[in-house]
Structure 1
């Protein structure tokens, strides 16, 4: 994104965009308010006019990442014809996330990276947990059309572990290969249901 594009939008949008880039690249704790406001091209007071605290900005970032992933998933699932294809659309959304153009390279799941920086019981960690539960519930919903409730629940948990492990490795390696492999494993598992 060039500086003209970064300057577009409301101060809130620019702050959230800047925070999103910086939090993902450098971490939330390491990224200071001054760095965010400079990147956004706004005065420091603009941050506090739009967010009551850095914590509120971090929560807005986590929510934006959740909505971003849901958008990737919805774009994929609309082309899925069968329940198995809908399950695989979840994997495809993770692949799309990994293959997005990141300014400083792909570093894995932005939400898990954020959660790793936050203390247990913090609102941000809870928001990340809710996102992961949402992904798993999407899997359960599609799997119910293929098998019993118990098998759907167990399989969704298994696929969630597969996704998260693959995402962790993909983040370490900076590319989507592990996620593509996880998708192939998931396809094989679905074929056995």
Structure 2
């Protein structure tokens, strides 16, 4: 069943992803977690602290998906494409209420510019771009790798946004195909 903290974070992850952060009250989270409200505040200083933990957990979840994919990649091209595959794995996971796109970006969209939640999501997205750049550095020079990583990052984020709107991973599959074609031209 997990600790109270784990149950609260799992409940928050479900509610925040399906309903949005601002639309989700503490009572909904504690009810879904099956814990008293006091347990929430024993584990998180505030809802903001819970949101930060949620953003970090979403990113760690994606990193785990990526590590699993990258570990079975036999070539540099497959290692780069493993980033796309991890996004596909996320899109194809059971999301209860349906796939709604990137939970981190959805969360960031609920906060004003300069909010710490947006900054945390930006840092996570920069890490994804850096992972792409590191893989691409095996295939091209450093400047080319950085530029292509930025292009692939745009391709990924656009595809996940459209896939979320459509509730279907087809856009991510197409984005992976575009990336594979671009890599084949290197």
| Aligned counterpart, 1:97 | 90
**Alpha-carbon offset, residue 151 of structure 1:** 0.6
Distance 2:93 2:125 in 1: 20
The aligned length equals 186
Distance 2:2 2:78 in 1: 37
**Alpha-carbon offset, residue 28 of structure 1:** 0.3
For residues 155-170 of structure 1, the aligned pairs below 5 Å read: 155-170=148-163
**Alpha-carbon offset, residue 122 of structure 1:** 1.4
Distance 1:183 1:155 in 2: 14
**Alpha-carbon offset, residue 118 of structure 1:** 1.1
1:54 pairs, out of 47, 57, 69, with: 47
Gaps (5+ residues) in structure 1? 1-7
1:70 pairs with 2:63: yes
Gaps (5+ residues) in structure 2? none
Superposed CA deviations along residues 92-141 of structure 1, whole A, max 9, x for unmatched, are 00000000001100000000000000121111111100110000000000
1:176 pairs with 2:141: no
For residues 1-193 of structure 1, the aligned pairs below 5 Å read: 8-193=1-186
Distance 1:24 1:179 in 2: 19
- TM-score normalized by the length of structure 1: 0.95
3-state DSSP class of the match of 1:81?
coil
Distance 2:32 2:110 in 1: 22
Distance 2:53 2:147 in 1: 32
Please, what is the CA RMSD of the aligned residues? Answer: 0.5
3-state DSSP class of the match of 1:74?
helix
- TM-score normalized by the length of structure 2: 0.99
